[in-house]
């Protein structure tokens, strides 16, 4: 099957105009692919432009502090992506003289870079024949061959990667990868694919069988676990108390308010607050409750105001007092950014 010829003809006329399109700089392609792994183009483009505006190359990123990188990433979620990028930028500067490796296996071994991103960099920047298979590509290919293997199963991933590798243009591998992504994003959309304007209509088995809407197939969703997080807004004058999250859980490296986990009554939260943070919090009042959904968890986040605290009464050294003006210098997870923003507005 030759999908490359009609696809590339279509791409030459209909490629999306994107800020990183046309670049052959592996740093730029790397940043764009990492940002857009879990983020829609409309949401992530501003982040991309701010990121490469502040860190235009590997050296400037490698020299940055983690707080500043996370601050630029704030709101994008999946913060390990940003931490891995910082690690990898420093690694390339220290071990490869600041030159991005061009060998596929070396790219693939860099922290935070999987098969998909390595294939994008190798094909777009170095003209190597490596098919990059993302969600758009899975969708297009599963429809073209009308195959109902679950795209998130190991079997499906092997099947569609092998197929993409067979079909990729040997002359224009980077354009082929970008063309398939564009086709999936603009024509072969999840709902209502526009088959009548699709360059692959004459090859597409799902279109012939009229089963486009049944593809791609995914494994049944795993039930998300639910967690309750109780945040304590401890204020004195213009200052509030924050702490840095550590360990391997979500939002590692970001800042937050003092937090007690669990579906607890205010009296129990106050007791834990005293024992964990050394904060005497007798007058707790709930001021907001929000739901926040992550990939594997649903969070029930509750905010409590603690009204009877003085600086001297706080016994935990890991807590920081920060003024409202300086809070913007610290990276916070999205639900806390929204909460703190709403406080400054009210």
Give whichever of 198 and 233 is closer to ligand SF4, judged by the CB atom.
198
The catalytically annotated residue of 33, 105, 286, 329 is 33
* 193 touches ligand SF4 by CB under 6 A: yes
Give whichever of 192 and 275 is closer to ligand SF4, judged by the CB atom.
192
Give whichever of 151 and 284 is closer to ligand SF4, judged by the CB atom.
151
From residue 135 to residue 164, the character string flagging contacts with ligand SF4 as x (rule: CB under 6 A) and all else as - is -----x--xx--------------------
* 212 touches ligand SF4 by CB under 6 A: yes
**Which residue is listed with tokens 């630029």?**
72
Region binding ligand SF4 by CB under 6 A among candidate stretches 45-53, 154-162, 201-209, 331-339: 201-209
3 state SS for the chain: CCCHHHHHHHHHHHCCCCCCCCCCCHHHHHHHHHHCCCCCHHHHHHHHHHHHHHCCCHHHHHCCCHHHHHHHHCCCCCCHHHHHHHHHHHHHHHHCCCCCCCCHHHHHHCCCCCHHHHHHHHHHHHCCCCCCCCHHHHHHHHHHCCCCCCCCCHHHHHHHHHHHHHHCCCCCHHHHHHHHHHHHHHCCCCCCCCHHHCCCCCCCHHHHHCCHHHCCCCCCCCCCEEEEEEEEEEEECCEEEEEECCCCCCCCCCEECCEEECCCCHHHHHHHHHHHHCCCCCCEEEEEEEEEECCCEEEEEEEEEECCCCHHHCCCCCCEEEECCHHHHCCCCHHHHHHHHHHHHC
Q: Which of 8, 93, 145, 195 binds ligand SF4 (CB under 6 A)?
A: 195
* 200 touches ligand SF4 by CB under 6 A: yes
Number of residues binding to ligand SF4, judged by CB under 6 A: 15
**Contact call for residues 142 and 160 (beta carbons, < 8 A):** yes
> Least distance from C-beta 145 to ligand SF4, angstroms?
10
**Contact call for residues 233 and 304 (beta carbons, < 8 A):** yes
* 7 touches ligand SF4 by CB under 6 A: no
> Least distance from C-beta 210 to ligand SF4, angstroms?
10
> Least distance from C-beta 180 to ligand SF4, angstroms?
10
Verify cis geometry, omega within 30 degrees of 0, for the bond prior to 6: no
Give whichever of 190 and 278 is closer to ligand SF4, judged by the CB atom.
190
Give whichever of 93 and 145 is closer to ligand SF4, judged by the CB atom.
145
Give whichever of 143 and 161 is closer to ligand SF4, judged by the CB atom.
143
Q: Is 272 a catalytic residue?
A: no
**Structure-derived torsion over alpha carbons of residues 133, 135, 141, 144, reported in degrees to the nearest 10:** -160
* 216 touches ligand SF4 by CB under 6 A: no
Give whichever of 144 and 340 is closer to ligand SF4, judged by the CB atom.
144
In the numeric block, which tokens belong to residue 324?
Answer: 């409202």
In the numeric block, which tokens belong to residue 26?
Answer: 């592996």
Region binding ligand SF4 by CB under 6 A among candidate stretches 117-125, 193-201, 286-294, 336-344: 193-201
* 28 touches ligand SF4 by CB under 6 A: no
Q: Which of 35, 188, 257, 314 binds ligand SF4 (CB under 6 A)?
A: 188
> Least distance from C-beta 139 to ligand SF4, angstroms?
8
> Least distance from C-beta 110 to ligand SF4, angstroms?
33
Contacts of 124 (CB under 8 A, 6+ apart): 24, 29, 174, 177, 178
> Least distance from C-beta 84 to ligand SF4, angstroms?
33
* 167 touches ligand SF4 by CB under 6 A: no
Q: Which residues are catalytic?
A: 33
What residues line the site for ligand SF4 (CB under 6 A)? 140, 143-144, 187-188, 193-195, 198, 200-201, 204, 206-207, 212
């Amino acid at each position: 099957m030759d999908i490359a010829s009609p696809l590339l003809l279509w791409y030459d006329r209909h490629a999306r105009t994107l800020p990183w399109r046309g670049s052959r700089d592996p740093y730029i392609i790397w940043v764009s692919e990492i940002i857009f792994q879990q983020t829609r183009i409309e949401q992530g483009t501003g982040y991309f432009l701010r990121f490469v505006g502040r860190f235009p190359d590997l050296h400037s990123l490698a020299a940055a502090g983690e707080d500043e990188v996370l601050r630029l990433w704030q709101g994008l979620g999946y913060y390990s992506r940003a931490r891995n990028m910082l690690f990898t930028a420093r690694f390339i500067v220290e071990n490869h003289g600041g030159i991005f490796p061009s060998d596929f296996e070396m790219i693939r071994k860099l922290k935070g870079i999987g098969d998909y991103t390595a294939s994008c960099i190798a094909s777009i920047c170095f003209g190597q024949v490596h098919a990059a298979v993302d969600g758009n590509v899975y969708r297009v290919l599963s429809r073209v061959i009308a195959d109902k293997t679950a795209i998130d199963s190991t079997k499906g991933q092997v099947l569609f990667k092998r197929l993409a590798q067979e079909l990729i243009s040997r002359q224009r591998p980077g354009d082929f990868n970008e063309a398939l992504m564009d086709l999936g994003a603009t024509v072969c959309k999840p709902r209502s694919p526009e088959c009548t304007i699709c360059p692959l209509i004459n090859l597409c088995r799902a279109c012939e069988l009229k089963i486009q809407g049944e593809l791609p197939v995914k494994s049944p969703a795993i039930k998300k676990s639910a967690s309750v997080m109780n945040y304590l807004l401890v204020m004195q004058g213009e200052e509030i108390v924050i702490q840095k999250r550590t360990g391997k859980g979500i939002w590692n490296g970001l800042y937050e308010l003092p937090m007690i986990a669990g579906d607890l009554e205010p009296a129990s939260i106050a007791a834990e607050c005293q024992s964990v943070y050394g904060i005497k919090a007798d007058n707790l009042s709930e001021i907001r409750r929000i739901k926040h959904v992550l990939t594997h968890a649903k969070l029930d986040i509750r905010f409590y105001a603690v009204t009877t605290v003085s600086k001297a009464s706080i016994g935990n050294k890991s807590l920081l007092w920060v003024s409202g003006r300086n809070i913007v210098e610290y990276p916070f997870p999205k639900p806390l950014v929204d909460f703190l923003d709403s406080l400054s507005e009210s």
